[in-house]
C-alpha cells in the first residue's frame, strides 16, 4: 500500500498506540489461553484420579480396578523392596541389546541391498512379505528355540527393530535424488564419496527418526515375550500379578513400563534434535 500524503506526527502516534494495544490484547489473550489449558489439564487429571479413587467403585467391583492410592503404594513397595530394579534391569537389557542388534543389522543390510538396484528389486517382495508377518506370532517359536532366558526376548526385540530400521533406511537411500548422484559422478566422485557425501546425509533423517521410534518397539517385544514365558522382567511381573488377580501390581507394572517408554522417548528425541537439528524427520513405522 502506498500513501499519497505523508502521515502527520499525530497520526503516526495514534497508529502506534493502536498497534500497541492490539499487541497487548493479543498477548493477554494468549496468556489467558495458556492458563486455561494448564488449569484444564490439571483439573482433568485430578478429576480422573478422584473418579478412579472414589467413583469407579460405585460402577464396578473395586477388585477389578484397584485405586490410585493402592497402585502408588504398590509402586513404592516394589521400589523399596528393590524387586523392581531386578525386573527393570532385565527388561531394559533385553530391549537395549535387541535394539542395538536390530538397528545395526537393519542399517547394514539396507545399505548392502539398496546399493545394488537389482538386488533390491529381486528381494523387495520377500521383504514386504516378511514385513507383514505378525512378528509377535514368532514369540513362541523363539522360546521353543532358546528357552526361558533372555535370548528369545533379545531376538524378538531385535526383529521388531530390524524391519522398521531396514525399511526406513532402504527408503531413505532410494529417495536420494538421482540428479545429485549423477552430478557428483560427473564431477568425479568415487563410489565411496557418493555413499559418504551424498547418500548417507540424504538418508540420515529417515534413519535417525526410525531408530528413535523403534526403542519403544524393542521394549514392547521384550515385554510381550516375557508375557509368553519368562522368569523375570517387567512383562513377567505384570503377567504373574494378573494370574494372581493382583490388579494393583498389574497397574503398577503398566505405569512403570509407560514411564520407561516415555523417558526413553524423551531422551531419544533430545538426541535426535541434537544430531539433526534441521530436520523433523519423516518415518515409516
Q: Which is nearer to other proteins, 194 or 228 (CB)?
A: 228
For residue 137, state whether it binds other proteins (rule: CB under 8 A). yes
- By CB under 8 A, tell whether 125 contacts other proteins: yes
> Interface with other proteins includes 122 (CB under 8 A)?
yes
Answer for which of 100, 138, 148, 202 binds other proteins (CB under 8 A) is 138
Q: For other proteins, which is the closer residue by CB, 49 or 181?
A: 49
Single residue of 41, 86, 177, 190 touching other proteins by CB under 8 A: 41
Q: Closest by alpha carbon to 160, among 173, 144, 142, 175?
A: 142
Q: How far does the chain reach from its first CA to its final CA, in angstroms?
A: 49
Site for other proteins contains 214 (CB under 8 A)? yes
For other proteins, which residue of 254, 273, 276, 279 counts as binding (CB under 8 A)? Answer: 254
Give residue for cell 541389546: 97
111 binds other proteins (CB under 8 A): no
Q: Please return the burial class of 204, using the count of CB atoms within 10 Å of its CB with bins 0-12, 13-18 and 19+.
A: middle
Contact status: 71 vs other proteins (CB under 8 A): no
Judged by CB under 8 A, the stretch of 32-40, 51-59, 73-81, 82-90 that binds other proteins is 32-40
Closest C-alpha among 170, 175, 172 to residue 110: 170
Query: Which residues contact other proteins (rule: CB under 8 A)?
Result: 33, 36-37, 40-41, 44-45, 48, 64, 118, 121-123, 125-126, 129, 131-141, 143-145, 160, 163-164, 167, 209, 213-214, 216-217, 219-220, 223-224, 227-228, 235, 238-239, 241-242, 245, 247, 250-251, 253-254, 257-258, 261-262, 265, 280-285
Amino acid at each position: 500500500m502506498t500513501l499519497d500524503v505523508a502521515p502527520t506526527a499525530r497520526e503516526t502516534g495514534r497508529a502506534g498506540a493502536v498497534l500497541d494495544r492490539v499487541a497487548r490484547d493479543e498477548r493477554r489473550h494468549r496468556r489467558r489461553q495458556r492458563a486455561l489449558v494448564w488449569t484444564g489439564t490439571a483439573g482433568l487429571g485430578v478429576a480422573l484420579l478422584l473418579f478412579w479413587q472414589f467413583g469407579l467403585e460405585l460402577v464396578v467391583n473395586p477388585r477389578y480396578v484397584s485405586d490410585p492410592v493402592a497402585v502408588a503404594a504398590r509402586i513404592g513397595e516394589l521400589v523399596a523392596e528393590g524387586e523392581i530394579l531386578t525386573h527393570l534391569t532385565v527388561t531394559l537389557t533385553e530391549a537395549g541389546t535387541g535394539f542395538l542388534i536390530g538397528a545395526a543389522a537393519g542399517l547394514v543390510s539396507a545399505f548392502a541391498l539398496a546399493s545394488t538396484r537389482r538386488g533390491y528389486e529381486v528381494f523387495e517382495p520377500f521383504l514386504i512379505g516378511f514385513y507383514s508377518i505378525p512378528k509377535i506370532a514368532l514369540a513362541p517359536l523363539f522360546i521353543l528355540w532358546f528357552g526361558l532366558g533372555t535370548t528369545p526376548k533379545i531376538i524378538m526385540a531385535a526383529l521388531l527393530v530390524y524391519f522398521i530400521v531396514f525399511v526406513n533406511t532402504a527408503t531413505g537411500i532410494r529417495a536420494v535424488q538421482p540428479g545429485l548422484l549423477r552430478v557428483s559422478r560427473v564431477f568425479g566422485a568415487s563410489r565411496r564419496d557418493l555413499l559418504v557425501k551424498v547418500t548417507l546425509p540424504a538418508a540420515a533423517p529417515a534413519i535417525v527418526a526410525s531408530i528413535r521410534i523403534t526403542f519403544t518397539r524393542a521394549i514392547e517385544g521384550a515385554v510381550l515375550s516375557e508375557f509368553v514365558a519368562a522368569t523375570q522382567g517387567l512383562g513377567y511381573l505384570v503377567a504373574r500379578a494378573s494370574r494372581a488377580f493382583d490388579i494393583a501390581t498389574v497397574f503398577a507394572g503398566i505405569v512403570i513400563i509407560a514411564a520407561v517408554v516415555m523417558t526413553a522417548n524423551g531422551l531419544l528425541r533430545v538426541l535426535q534434535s541434537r544430531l539433526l537439528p534441521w530436520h523433523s524427520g519423516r518415518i515409516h513405522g
